[in-house]
Structure 1
């Protein structure tokens, strides 16, 4: 690993699980959705820790600001103030985000002022910034949580931009249903266990129609294997 990567930190920026469940009711119930996001959080943390890079998790009440943009900008600022020259922010809603992809982003950020992981809906699943290219006010005022934020971020890139592969984020039940077999194997197994838990009856009832719909759409054929990096 390049010695320059010691000046790079990862930032996992999250709502708390209950708020996430209210904002994105993926499982049809708050209890089920919160259980699902706990699994997503664990997976994201595991992938981040495996990079060997410093990881900062800023979640829920730890976030400061009146808007999403202000909270994210303040989170970046807090890590830069610890002395890091490069910060890569991720969330928990892109299950294809792997250790290998995070290391690829860290390497690209050594040569570019901005690294972006675009999503299919015009957003981003990863934003890497150099301290010298970080403008707090401009960053906070971007059109966050819209389908134009990716384009707006590119326009801020004073030191050049590196673009990673396009992926998807899970922000609604339909996306989870369509992309289920693209999830890493460890996540598919975890969600299957949640579906089968007797103590999680509400979650199981909500998920059973989703599971059967998947089987019907696949014609009962064996699913393709999704590699877990």
Structure 2
């Protein structure tokens, strides 16, 4: 009997994402994220499918994304939990919580601070591609607009913890404030900050967040 819930990793290759987002040292970041994502989905024990740029179908982001979700439903799964590769704070607990919420809700979301979402859980009978195409994708209004529409139509949904995506160099500053972030990831984020257009901001940030100890580890994380 097929497991009713599957994970969709909708993410491009590390090289492509680094180029499209124009993030300094981005390939190293996304390589790290890819390794971490594979570890997380394996820990969840849920079947997973990675759909990158070579397997995506559609003329724009929203069509490619929604087609990928439909592809998983077409395989026989009744619930899909979709995640991306740009949210370092994503843990296996978020995936498992989403899976539990789908037992009693039509959808669940992991909100990101930019107005979008890093996780979307949805049941097959609630997935209407043409309706979702009408939302303002890739804008700060996306999730508020979706939630407003769901509320208006009395669709049951829930949300889990809000996290930060890395969409630009400046997001690295916000992510570095999270004390629970892996040390290796901190080193990568510091490289991104160092290579940003305003390097003086780096030193202001370090002074405020007391990350001076990172400088004294063998092999400076700020080295290129």
How far off is 1:219 after superposition?
A: 4.4
1:173 matched to 2:169? The reply is yes
Q: CA separation of 1:180/1:134 partners in 2, compared to 1, >3 Å: closer, same or farther?
A: same
Q: CA separation of 1:181/1:60 partners in 2, compared to 1, >3 Å: closer, same or farther?
A: same
Would you tell me which structure has more helix in proportion to its own residues? 1
Task: Name the residue aligned to 2:56.
Answer: 63
Contact residue 110 and residue 117 of structure 2 kept, 8 A: yes
Task: Name the residue aligned to 1:218.
Answer: 209
Find the partner of 1:192 among 170, 187, 191.
187
Q: CA separation of 1:183/1:142 partners in 2, compared to 1, >3 Å: closer, same or farther?
A: farther
TM-score w.r.t. the length of structure 1 is: 0.80
Contact residue 95 and residue 183 of structure 1 kept, 8 A: no
Q: How many residue pairs end up in the alignment? A: 209
Contact residue 96 and residue 183 of structure 1 kept, 8 A: no
Give me the whole-angstrom Cα distance separating, in 1, the residues matched to 2:179 and 2:86. Answer: 11
Residues 42-96 of structure 1 deviation map (CA, whole Å, 9 limit, x = unaligned):
1122112210000110011210000111001110111001100000101011111
How far off is 1:153 after superposition?
A: 2.1
How far off is 1:117 after superposition?
A: 0.9
How far off is 1:119 after superposition?
A: 1.4
Contact residue 116 and residue 124 of structure 1 kept, 8 A: yes
Residues 137-178 of structure 1 deviation map (CA, whole Å, 9 limit, x = unaligned):
112332111011102322147641111121211111111122
Task: Name the residue aligned to 1:16.
Answer: 13
Q: CA separation of 1:102/1:217 partners in 2, compared to 1, >3 Å: closer, same or farther?
A: same
Residues 160-210 of structure 1 deviation map (CA, whole Å, 9 limit, x = unaligned):
111112121111111112221427543x325527979xxxxxx89738x57
How far off is 1:221 after superposition?
A: 6.4
Q: Aligned with 2:75: secondary structure? A: coil
Task: Name the residue aligned to 2:3.
Answer: 6
Task: Name the residue aligned to 2:84.
Answer: 91
Q: Which runs of 5+ in 1 are unaligned?
A: 197-202, 224-229
Contact residue 105 and residue 128 of structure 1 kept, 8 A: yes
How far off is 1:23 after superposition?
A: 1.9
TM-score w.r.t. the length of structure 2 is: 0.82
Q: Aligned with 1:173: secondary structure? A: coil
